[in-house]
Amino acid sequence: MGNTKIHNDPELDDFLRRTHEIDNERKQKRSNKPPAPKPKPKYVSQRNQFNENDLEEARKILQSSDILEFNEEMVVDGSEYDDNNNHDDLTFKSAYNYEKTFSPKKKNYSLDELDLEHDESNLDPASRKPQNNDSNMEFSVSKEDFLLLQRIKKNRESKIDEIKPKGEIPPKINKFTDKNVPKETLSPRKKTMPTRGKPRAQNVKIQYDIEIDMDAPSLPLRKSQRNVRDEEPEDHTTENGVYMRRFNRINNERSSSPRPQLPSRPASNHPYTPTSRDVESEGGSSEDEQDKPSLPSRGHARHTNSAKRDLKEYPPATKPKPNFNKSTKEIVTSKILKKDEPVVIRNVMPEPMSTIELIDEEADLLSFSDSVTPPSTNNKKIDSNISNNSLSDIRIPSTRNTNSSLPPAPPTSRKSNETTTFIESLNHNKLTETHKTSPETPKKKVELQGIDYLDSVQLKSPSPHVSPSNSQKPSPIKPRVSKLPRSESFIHSALNCNLETGKKVSPPIGKDKPALPTKPLKFTNKETVISDTEDDNEMTDLKTFRIKNGQNDEASTKIPPKVPKKNSNIKLPILKPVEIKPVSTKAKKSLNDEHKLELPKLRSVNGKESNLMVNGKKGNKPDVPKRKPTIPEALVNAKLLKKTNIDHKDSSAETQIEPTPEALTKKNTLSSIKVAPAIPERKISLPEALKRANQLKSQTNQSKVLENTTNQPINVRLESVMALHQRKTFNGYKTPSEPTPIRRISTTVSSSSSSSSSSTPLVHVTKGRAKGPRRKLPSKI
Amino acid sequence: MSSDDKYDSALDLLRRLDPTKLKTNLQNLISLEPSMAEDLLSSIDLPLTIKQDPKASNREFLCCDYNRDMDSHRSPWSNDYYPQLTADDLAESPFPSEKLRELEIICNDSFDVYRDLYYEGGVSSVYLWDLDEESDFAGVVLFKKSNSSSSNWDSIHVIEVTNSGNGDYNYKVTTTIILQLDSNATSELKLSGNLTRQTERDFRVDTNKEDQLRIAHITNLGTLIEDIESQMRDMLETVYFEKTRDIFHQNKNSLISRNESEKSAQAEIVKGLQNL
Under an 8 A CB cutoff, do A721 and B273 touch? Answer: yes
Residue B155 CA to residue B171 CA, distance in Å, equals: 17
Instruction: Look at A527-536, A621-630, A769-778 and tell me which has the smallest mean pLDDT.
Output: A527-536
A674–chain B nearest CA distance, Å = 43
DSSP 8-state code for residue A617: P
Q: Which residues of B touch A762 (CB under 8 A)?
A: 8, 11-12, 15
Q: A 724-753 residues with CB below 8 A of B? A: 724-725, 728-729, 735-737, 739, 744
Residue A766 CA to residue B14 CA, distance in Å, equals: 12
**B98-243 CATH fold:** Aspartate Aminotransferase, domain 1 (3.90.1150)
Q: Which residues of A touch B273 (CB under 8 A)?
A: 717-718, 721
A-interface mutation test, from B130, B142, B249, B276, most A Cβ less than 10 A away: B276
Q: Is residue B169 helix, strand or coil?
A: strand
Residue B48 CA to residue B64 CA, distance in Å, equals: 6
A722–chain B nearest CA distance, Å = 7
Task: Give ranges for CATH 1.20.58.570 in chain B.
Answer: 3-92
Q: Which residues of B touch A777 (CB under 8 A)?
A: 37-38, 41, 70
Residue A774 CA to residue B7 CA, distance in Å, equals: 19
Nearest CA in chain A to B197: A765
* pLDDT-above-90 percentage for chain B: 25
pLDDT digits (tens, 9 = 90+) for A165-177: 444 444 444 444 4
With bands split at pLDDT 50, 70 and 90, how would you rate the model's confidence at A557? very low
- Sheet containing strand B68-69, edge to edge, reads B68-69, B72-74, B81-82
Contact A368, A207 (CB under 8 A): no
pTM of the predicted protein model: 0.34
DSSP 8-state code for residue B204: E
Average pLDDT, integer, range A489-508? 52
- A765 vs B: CB within 8 A: yes
Q: At B207, which helix (H) or strand (E)?
A: none
- Find the length of chain B: 276
Burial letters A322-341, b for 16+ CB under 10 A, else e: bbbbbbbbebbeebeeeebb
To 10 degrees, the CA torsion angle through A76, A214, A420, A2? 10
Q: Which residues of A touch B44 (CB under 8 A)?
A: 766
Q: How many CB atoms lie within 10 A of CB A678?
A: 6
Sign of CA dihedral A62, A67, A72, A75: negative
pLDDT digits (tens, 9 = 90+) for B175-192: 999 988 877 666 677 778
A749–chain B nearest CA distance, Å = 15
With bands split at pLDDT 50, 70 and 90, how would you rate the model's confidence at B146? confident
Q: Which residues contact A126 (CB under 8 A, 6 or more apart)?
A: A3, A6, A7, A340, A343, A344, A347
Contact B152, B47 (CB under 8 A): yes
Q: What's the first-to-final CA gap in chain B, in angstroms?
A: 43
Contact B31, B46 (CB under 8 A): no
Under an 8 A CB cutoff, do B65 and A772 touch? Answer: yes
Residue A38 CA to residue A347 CA, distance in Å, equals: 19
Residue A45 confidence (pLDDT) above 80: no
To 10 degrees, the CA torsion angle through A13, A318, A238, A396? 180
Under an 8 A CB cutoff, do B276 and A709 touch? Answer: yes
Contact A45, A124 (CB under 8 A): no
Task: Give ranges for CATH 3.90.1150.210 in chain B.
Answer: 98-243
Q: Pick the residue with more confidence: A255 or B167?
A: B167
Pairing label, strands B68-69, B59-63: unpaired
Average pLDDT, integer, range A45-57? 56
Contact A386, A290 (CB under 8 A): yes
pLDDT digits (tens, 9 = 90+) for A94-109: 777 777 777 654 444 4
Residue B126 confidence (pLDDT) above 90: yes
DSSP 8-state code for residue A522: H
Q: What is the DSSP string of A315-347?
A: HHHTTHHHHHHHHHHHHHHHSPP-SHHHHHHHH
Q: What's the first-to-final CA gap in chain A, in angstroms?
A: 143
**Amino acid (1-letter code) at residue A587:** A
CATH match for B3-92 among 1.20.58.570, 3.40.50.360, 1.10.8.60, 1.10.3720.10: 1.20.58.570
pLDDT digits (tens, 9 = 90+) for B9-63: 888 888 888 888 888 898 898 888 888 888 888 888 888 999 998 888 989 999 9
CA atoms within 13 A on the CB side of B149: 1
Q: Is residue B178 helix, strand or coil?
A: strand
Beta bridge partners of B51: B61
> Do the interacting molecules here have an ipTM over 0.85?
no
Q: Which residues of B touch A771 (CB under 8 A)?
A: 38-39, 42-43
Measure CB to CB from residue B198 to each of A718, A721, A765 and give the nearest one: A765
* 3-state helix, strand and coil shares in percent for chain B, rounded to the nearest 5: 50, 30, 25
